[in-house]
Amino acid sequence: EDQVTQSPEALRLQEGESSSLNCSYTVSGLRGLFWYRQDPGKGPEFLFTLYSAGEEKEKERLKATLTKKESFLHITAPKPEDSATYLCAVRAPGGDMRFGAGTRLTVKP
């Protein structure tokens, strides 16, 4: 069965303290890996799509990378406004999207 596991469940950082969030998956024939940001009580906001191992994408302080088994969302010098839940999702060959449970990031000033 296709699975998506995100770790850690929660992460607390000091402002400026860089770190990484992990998304591991067991989908065969990946048709895309997606990262979203979700603020409390709001819908997920699209960040990145990665399609093949070795691919990287960046947006401001965020950088997403992809291997054959996992993806990392690197956060460089985070600010309090980066606090949110980050969701990972994968699309399998059949078209289904499978979502992880998310990593709740808190950045303290």
Partner 1 sequence: DGGITQSPKYLFRKEGQNVTLSCEQNLNHDAMYWYRQDPGQGLRLIYYSQIVNDFQKGDIAEGYSVSREKKESFPLTVTSAQKNPTAFYLCASTWAADPYTQYFGPGTRLTVL
Contacting residues toward partner 1, per CB under 8 A: 4, 9, 31-32, 34, 36, 41-46, 49, 87, 89, 91, 96-102
Residue 100: Cβ-neighbour burial (10 angstroms; 0-12, 13-18, 19+)? buried
In the bound state with partner 1, the residue whose beta carbon lies nearer, of 34 and 72, is: 34
Q: How far is the CB of 95 from partner 1 (least distance, A)?
A: 8
Q: How far is the CB of 101 from partner 1 (least distance, A)?
A: 5
Is the dihedral angle over the CA atoms 40, 45, 51, 55 positive or is it negative?
Answer: negative
Helix, strand, coil fractions of the chain, as percent rounded to 5: 5, 55, 40
Between the CA of residue 54 and those of 11, 21, 24, what are the distances in Å?
25, 17, 15
Q: How far is the CB of 80 from partner 1 (least distance, A)?
A: 22
In the bound state with partner 1, the residue whose beta carbon lies nearer, of 2 and 19, is: 2
In the bound state with partner 1, the residue whose beta carbon lies nearer, of 29 and 43, is: 43
